[in-house]
Chains A and B, each alone.
Chain A
């Protein structure tokens, strides 16, 4: 929700002189003059700010401390979604919501109610509020939400303190990091309206699969959203951010002769309908998806491989996304529980010296290709900054939120949908190798290891846009093991002949695997994907050659033949 694709907005990163830790930053900041164009003209922001200000000033239970930080957000969502299957509409949904949410911190930033040492009190922190800008209704609901959240926060603080008194806590960090306020007001566009021609286009796109008898089921979804995110904090942050994404998702299923079910999905996600490719391109892309799926069903089944693997650019991007990126994201609580994040590896070498990785929320294009991970602020209202995560193989920094996991850590603005997520991850190569040479090296490595064949992976995962009936994959639990590679070729080391193979699963790609990257190409292109919450991330990586990888058989049982043929293609 905090992604902005049109950065033509007022960004006033007010460099307020916050005397960190010495003054009551929250109240000092909220009393700053607000930009006239924002709060006074936006009744929703006005209600949010007024109730936040009143709460900071007056909310206090007897014998308890006042809140030291409050955040109020309000998200408007207008959504239209429909789905077609082989030219027939199967689903239509349209809705409008406005959801207010509050966060209250009690204690101080060194130790507060969010310390997470022991279970916290549940409770509602969000509620639907008036779709029309009804100041009184919105403010009244915020009054109740903040009241409830403050009472829970007071109880939580005492629970956390009681736990701390009775335990030796290892690696305890501050509960919350302070921030300078940000102000940014996006203009608001007219309400969402569906151009009827979209129905025809999606209907036609869904009909592409009627020419593929091997496809057991397929569907095409279009989802248009307009989201307006408003955020105010007691530090003085005031944000209004709008984005209007359009997603077209195409899914198809097939079954191999041995009963293995396989599905694939492609999606196009754009920031404006004018960026949607021409219909011919869309249909060609759907046909490719079907052809690729059919090719998979005919691929040779493998049961084991240990040896060198060449990941071509899309697969390398996915390797970076699922095998490496989760280790670079420091989520709240990682300091207290081992989590796989490379917290203890700062300033040590985790990759070969010829590789660096940055997360760049500002980049919009790489080598003439659009990147979509652009972000201005995260859900905590923190400005997203470019972060150089790995410098010539050495880990320098981690992506993080306002909940520090290392001493003195401050947020770099990556907290979205309850977790730390990258924006546009870019792998930089200092000594690139051209594609031909990389393939030669792959064969050479395989021969040295006594193998008759080597593997080239061109694509690992299916796309999973959230519009597709839930198969949500949390970025937090990303792991290469979850993804059976979708497009893998075995290359004969003597003849160079490529054969499509299937049925293999990756073992996890840990630190030794990362160290095992022996060469990288000069062919990086952006690969855009979307996480379970709808956030787009772009990953840019070149071909990567890994000297040793283990892939084992996907031993899941498959189905015996079924005596009834697909009615779409069977003669009645």
Chain B
């Protein structure tokens, strides 16, 4: 959801590193970009002549304005009317594109920063010398680290056989996209305060809920990127995140916890989404109350129907993370699909894409929409799997044996310490074997009967998931559903169950999809990995799986509250 209003692509122009810096091809200028360019030019000119020369420098700056309100039971409990802070991030590379200071080492622990000054993460916001000064200090620190690390890289050459020899950094064409910095209206938290309090009061209608909260987080981020290859980009994004959660204690003492999120980009749309938010609060509240009385799940292996949001998390954890190519450079990674290009990895009616260019599906905005990645490379839509066959990977500027260039998926969190690596944006799952949603349930029941099982499962909502891609541990994933129902073959009413966890191994799990629904549902969220938290969307239809394994979630057990809730006296 980044908005680039003026984009001047230099894709067809060959710029030599360093030559274009300082010149201004665009008629538009930004004081922040100008200061960053000036300092980069100064530092790069000196450091490329140093004893251990730098061959690449990039500067990133994230200027974040945030406001936040949390409410509980109709009252505001935490208020951050305004917070503004900017983070600078500097990357210095020593060596050359083929072998540089980022090359993986045998004992790959980053040296402590050479400077004792520490990181000066927060920086002046309106350009000029003070801003240059921050980048100057950070450049020194990163240069010292890179120079020392490069020494180690050279020392280890010949001591270790690289499994896959390829360059350390991809050459990319410079990209210029500089927008006029318009004065932005201040973040206005007032309507969100009222809404958070009002929405949190809905929980008061549910007497079995012990604790609950609603939260609005408004975040406006201006991003600035420049590098020694002449790339210069600035853009801005706005995201409003509504979170809510509620908990209770089941009759057997197990803790019940549910949470949900909703995202939108225009603060003025609050009133138009409030109905949806109210619905979400009621959904969570009623599911917590219902889960209190629900029976515990039993270990199960059999047919399962995953509704769109649940299936989306499954694809994200099982497939998406394993198609992020920068992991394939890591010898400790399991590299599940690294050498399977051209091979069938999914049923032939399934195709998977990553489409950062897609701003919305229907009226739902997608979190993972952007024009340029955090390496300054234009985002490209990528066909990952076509008709079940693996076609491509998500790449940033770290080449792999199968991908020598970036496809604009080098992403990182907007903090000082994050460095871009290949990440998902808008993961879209499409199917050519579909039935209407209602019919999918009928097919589930048919499959249950066919397998002679007493019941099947419908996973409606999920709380989250995790996957391990490291070779140190088994290649397994887990998804933690929030709302799961048993659907009986003999026609008994559905039964809500609690304490469910989906487990499996990636190669097997997705092969068992036998049918999908005809409608794609969007699950927006933030994904956390090595390069920080990035906004991301998963778009997926409901799927029917003929076999999925379910285990009991580790119980968080206590005992019920000793005293009843205090008697209400009403607000003063």
A-side interface residues toward B, CB under 8 Å? 43, 50-51, 54-55, 58-61, 83, 85-98, 127-137, 139-141, 143-144, 147, 150-151, 216-217, 253, 261, 263, 469, 556, 559, 562-564, 566-568, 570, 572
Q: Is B80 an interface residue (CB 8 A)?
A: yes
* A97 CA / B73 CA spacing, docked (Å): 16
Other-chain residue from A51, A88, A140, A147 in contact with B130 (beta carbon distance below 8 A): A88
* CB atoms of A261 and B117 under 8 A apart: yes
The reply to whether A140 and B565 contact each other, CB–CB distance below 8 Å, is yes
Q: How far is the CB of A494 from chain B (nearest CB, A)?
A: 37
B140-A562 in contact (CB<8A): yes
Add 15 more A-B contacts to A91-B122, A147-B562 (CB < 8 A). A85-B130, A86-B129, A92-B83, A96-B78, A97-B77, A97-B79, A128-B78, A136-B566, A136-B570, A144-B211, A147-B561, A253-B117, A559-B115, A563-B47, A567-B136
Kindly state whether residue B86 has any CB partner on chain A within 8 Å.
Answer: yes
Determine the chain A residues whose CB is within 8 A of the CB of B123 once the complex forms: 85, 90
* B504 at the A interface (CB under 8 A): no
Contact of B211 among A141, A150, A563 (CB under 8 A): A141
**B80→A94 contact, CB < 8 A:** yes
Give the residue of B72, B83, B133, B565 whose beta carbon is less than 8 angstroms from that of A143. B565
A residues less than 8 Å from B122 (CB atoms): 83, 90-91, 469
CB pair A566 B117 closer than 8 Å: no
Q: How far is the CB of B133 from chain A (nearest CB, A)?
A: 5
Q: What are 30 A-B interface contacts by the 8 Å CB criterion? A: A85-B123, A85-B124, A89-B124, A89-B125, A90-B130, A93-B80, A93-B84, A95-B80, A97-B78, A128-B72, A130-B73, A131-B75, A131-B76, A132-B76, A133-B572, A144-B561, A151-B558, A216-B117, A217-B137, A556-B116, A559-B114, A559-B144, A563-B46, A563-B50, A564-B46, A564-B139, A567-B38, A567-B42, A567-B132, A572-B38
Contact of A128 among B50, B77, B85, B565 (CB under 8 A): B77
Which residue on chain A has the smallest CB distance to residue B560?
A147
Q: Are A86 and B130 touching (Cβ within 8 A)? A: yes
The answer to whether residues A98 and B77 also contact, given A88-B126, A91-B84, A128-B70 and a CB cut-off of 8 A, is yes
Is chain B's interface secondary structure helix, strand, loop, or mixed overall? Answer: mixed
Residue among A54, A98, A567 with the highest chain B CB neighbour number at 10 A: A567
Selected from A88, A131, A139, A261, the residue in CB contact (under 8 A) with B116 is A261
Neighbouring A residues of B132 by C-beta, 8 Å: 567-568
Give A100's nearest chain B residue, CB to CB. Answer: B77
Residues of chain B in range 101-115 having any CB-CB distance to chain A below 8 Å: 114-115
A47 to chain B, nearest CB (A): 8
A131 touches B571 (CB 8 A): no
A130-B76, A564-B140, A566-B136 known; A136+B568 contact, CB < 8 A:
yes
- Measured between alpha carbons, how far is A130 from B75 in the docked complex, in Å? 5
B571 to A, closest residue via Cβ: A134
Contact B83 A54 (CB under 8 A): no
Expressed in whole angstroms, the Cα–Cα distance for A88 and B123 within the complex equals 9
Residues of B within 8 A of A (CB): 38-39, 42-43, 46-47, 49-50, 70, 72-86, 114-117, 120, 122-126, 128-134, 136-137, 139-140, 143-144, 210-211, 558-559, 561-563, 565-566, 568-572
List, in ascending order, chain B residues with CB within 8 A of A135's CB: 569, 571-572
Closest to B127 in A: A88
Q: What is the CA–CA distance of A59 and B561 in the complex, to the nearest angstrom? A: 10
Cross-chain contact B82 with A50 (CB below 8 angstroms): no
Measured between alpha carbons, how far is A90 from B139 in the docked complex, in Å?
19
Given A133-B572, A563-B50, A564-B140, the answer on whether A96 and B79 have CB atoms closer than 8 Å is yes
> How close is B438's CB to chain A, nearest CB, in angstroms?
41
Q: Once bound together, how far apart are the Cα atoms of A469 and B87, in whole Å?
A: 14
Give the CA-CA distance A469 to B143 in the complex, in Å.
Answer: 24
Q: How far is the CB of B78 from chain A (nearest CB, A)?
A: 5
**Distance in angstroms between the alpha carbons of A89 and B126 in the assembled complex:** 8
Residues of A within 8 A of B115 (CB): 261, 559
